[in-house]
Chains A and B, each alone.
Chain A
Amino acid sequence: MAIEVKNIVKKFGSFAALDNVDLKVADGELLALLGPSGSGKTTLLRIIAGLDWPDSGEVAIDGENALTRGASERQVGFVFQHYALFRHMTVFENVAFGLRVQPRAIRKDEATIRARVKELLDLVQLDWLSNRYPSQLSGGQRQRIALARALAIEPRILLLDEPFGALDAKVRKELRQWLRSLHNEIHVTSIFVTHDQEEALEVANRVVVMDKGKIEQIGTPGEVYDNPATAFVHGFIGESIVLPVDVSGDAVRLDGRPLNIAAHGAASGAAKLFVRRHDMAIGPAGSGALDGAIRHVRSFGPIQRAEVALSGREGSTVIEIDAPRDRELQAGEIVSLQPRRYRIFATQD
């Protein structure tokens, strides 16, 4: 089902958790809400689920106003960060819960419920755990049971709050792929919240980057990585080298020295130059825009990572760059760096 969120404002005291947020999610999408803690992503998810209410704005699920309905009537599957499994019920009863609390008129008979639960436990590949209690499960198993429980009510949309947040790295990686393939299988519109960019880029069809209660950018993983819309997105997603520069007209200066790059329409005044680590070309001294001394080189896999001290008026700035291993760099070597791809964003103060 499609979801549409319009002009949502939510304040906790004087703190604006969500500041005029608009978002459209298409049917069948797998969307990531990505942002640092306090960016409002979980609040947005809870508002869509009906667990929180906005101060103003609209939420529509499949074209109908969701705000007139409570959480129990929205038929939204919600997977909690810490799973919130019912600790006094077996795995089987946890998954069956949503079916057992249905109004008598539409409640299925016991045999149908049992068959459905079995089907769901098969789907998450944990049929053999049905008589265990949540405290007897590992984190990854709990996560999958929580998902099966949410799916039991045949949700119109599926919302997941930091679904992999409490798991260790290896389980996380497995579950990510598993969630992707599960989504391909059942195709329910899904939104998950994460603060982990790798997770968002790897799992989602589209990524919504949030900061301080606002949406900074919406795009495919490729778009937000290659064409960050704002300084925040550039800094938050992927590793970036950030240098303070001055823009006047089309000229860009670092520490008063002109850099041989174009401003690409950035407004005159103080600005920040963003370059990905691997987008710095390394040449012999004097050949490029930035000269510096290599302080340290670490080589691993296909790349070598070098710490370069750029000398400036106020002491040196140390940046880290990634270079291919076709030319071995030496500590102490003086090199010149030239940004191949870069973005310049005016400094907002």
Chain B
Amino acid sequence: MSMQTGLATSTTQLRTYAPSTDVSVAAPAPRLEIARGRSTAARQNPRTEPGPIRFVIIALAVTFLSVFVVLPLVVVFASAFSKGVGAYFAALAEPEALAAIKLTLLVAAVSVTLNLVFGVVAAWAISKFEFTGKTFLITLIDLPFSVSPVISGLVFVLLFGAQGYFGPWLQAHNIHILFAVPGIALATIFVTFPFVARALIPLMQEQGTQEEEAAISLGASGLQTFFRVTLPNIKWGLLYGVLLCNARAMGEFGAVSVVSGHIRGETNTMPLLVEILYNEYQFVASFAIASLLAMLALITLVVKTVLERRLDETEVPDGD
């Protein structure tokens, strides 16, 4: 996911260095010429494959996608509704299911909010200031992506577990982190930390500090500069990061599984409940919850596409 984000932004970055769009000066005539040039180039493009080969390649891609992406998605919904709509909604209305949905929403809300703040601060520090250890910090931000989620969960067990570093102290003060909501939130925050920062760093680096300097020289305070200049410039990138962060926070399984303790009705998030129900042969209930997560994925996909389009628009060069 993060790789995608990086690639997308770097291509737009390249575009920024293209000659400025001198709308009022550019006459329509040269544009037409360009368009004509393009169409002849397409006709004579040496890389254009003959029809049958093109067909085979496209068919392969479509088949692959159908088998590995569309089919599972269809199966999820088919299984969820296999005993009818009534059974589907009854499964979702189970207290355990409701508790899992509530917990998932709570954990997502907490971790997305905190990562929003952390992400903006980290991206701000990296893109607007020069300091030693900057590359190290960038690498560190990526750490949660390169570590297996199970390890991420284990880290918190090692820290806060009964045998962990802070375990005895926490027990003495009757503070519950592991096998409770705080532990789940911590693990989720750790795993989803990079999304917002990763979405913002290339964007903010590309935008530089000139607009902020201009705002300050016009008499704006630090806060005014942030809310009136910086934030509007990064808002689409920020929403993009938040969206991906949210999708991962709600869908996270590995890290949460390690710290959750699987207490029914208390520390089971939706992905955990899906597994438990499945293992107990409650297929309709299991797939009903799974269908919610699948819908989240579909909504995320649509919003992501819209946001990417907006991001592209805001990054259209405005000069130099």
A-side residues, CB < 8 A to B, are: 49-51, 70-78, 80, 82-88, 97-98, 101-102, 133-139, 141-142, 149-150, 152-153, 166
Q: Is the CB of B24 within 8 A of A72?
A: no
Q: Chain A: which residue is nearest B229 at the CB level?
A: A86
Chain A residues near B25 (CB-CB < 8 A): 138
Tell me the total A-B contact number using a CB cutoff of 8 A. Answer: 95
Residue among B24, B224, B314 facing the most chain A CB atoms (10 A cut-off): B24
> In the bound complex, how far is the Cα of B232 from the Cα of A77, in angstroms?
23
Docked CA distance A266–B23 (Å):
56
A85 to chain B, nearest CB (A): 7
Residue numbers in B under 8 Å from A97 (CB-CB): 215, 218, 220, 228
Among candidates A51, A134, A135, A149, residue contacting B218 with C-beta atoms closer than 8 Å? A149
Closest 5 CB pairs of A and B: A98-B218, A84-B210, A84-B214, A101-B220, A82-B320
- B217 touching A138, Cβ below 8 Å: no
Given contacts A86-B211, A87-B211, contact A78 B217 (CB under 8 A): yes
Whether B215 and A88, one on each chain, are in contact in the complex, defined by CB atoms closer than 8 angstroms, is no
Partner of A84, one of B23, B211, B220, B317: B211
State how many angstroms separate the Cβ of A203 from the closest Cβ of chain B: 22
Contacts of B233 in A (CB 8 A): 87-88
Residue of A nearest to B221 (CB): A72
The residue among B210, B217, B219, B233 with the most chain A CB atoms within 10 A of its own CB is B217
Distance A78 CA – B26 CA, assembled complex (angstroms): 29
Q: Does B37 contact A (CB under 8 A)?
A: no
Contact residues in B for A133 (Cβ distance below 8 Å): 318
Q: How far is the CB of A99 from chain B (nearest CB, A)?
A: 9
Band of interface residues on B: 20 to 34
Shortest CB–CB separation between residue B231 and chain A, in angstroms?
10
Whether B210 and A142, one on each chain, are in contact in the complex, defined by CB atoms closer than 8 angstroms, is: no
Contacts of B221 in A (CB 8 A): 72, 101
Can you list 30 A-B contacts (CB < 8 A)?
A50-B217, A70-B216, A71-B213, A71-B217, A72-B216, A72-B220, A74-B217, A78-B217, A80-B214, A82-B210, A84-B213, A85-B211, A85-B214, A85-B318, A86-B214, A87-B233, A88-B314, A97-B215, A101-B218, A133-B318, A134-B318, A135-B23, A135-B316, A135-B317, A135-B318, A138-B23, A139-B319, A149-B218, A152-B218, A166-B319
> For the complex, what is the distance from the CA of A96 to the CA of B319, rounded to whole Å?
20
Min Cβ gap B195→A in Å is 23
Closest residue of chain B to A146 (Cβ to Cβ) is B214
Query: With an 8 A cutoff between CB atoms, is B33 at the interface?
Result: no
Q: Smallest distance from the beta carbon of B248 to chain A beta carbons, Å? A: 29
The distance in angstroms between the C-alpha atoms of A69 and B46, with both chains bound, is 63
CB distance from A10 to the nearest CB of B (A): 15
Q: Which residues of B contact A153 (CB under 8 A)?
A: 218-219
Complex Cα distance, B22 from A77, in Å, reads: 26
Residue pair B317, A138 in contact (C-beta under 8 Å): no
Known contacts A70-B216, A72-B216, A76-B217; is-contact A87 B22 (Cβ 8 Å)? no
Residue of A nearest to B217 (CB): A78
Query: Which of these, B24, B228, B316, B319, contacts A101 with CB under 8 Å?
Result: B228
Given contacts A51-B217, A138-B22, A149-B214, 7 further A-B contacts (CB under 8 A): A71-B216, A78-B214, A84-B211, A84-B213, A86-B214, A133-B318, A138-B23
B145 to chain A, nearest CB (A): 31
Q: How far is A71 from B212 in the complex, measured between Cα atoms in Å? A: 11
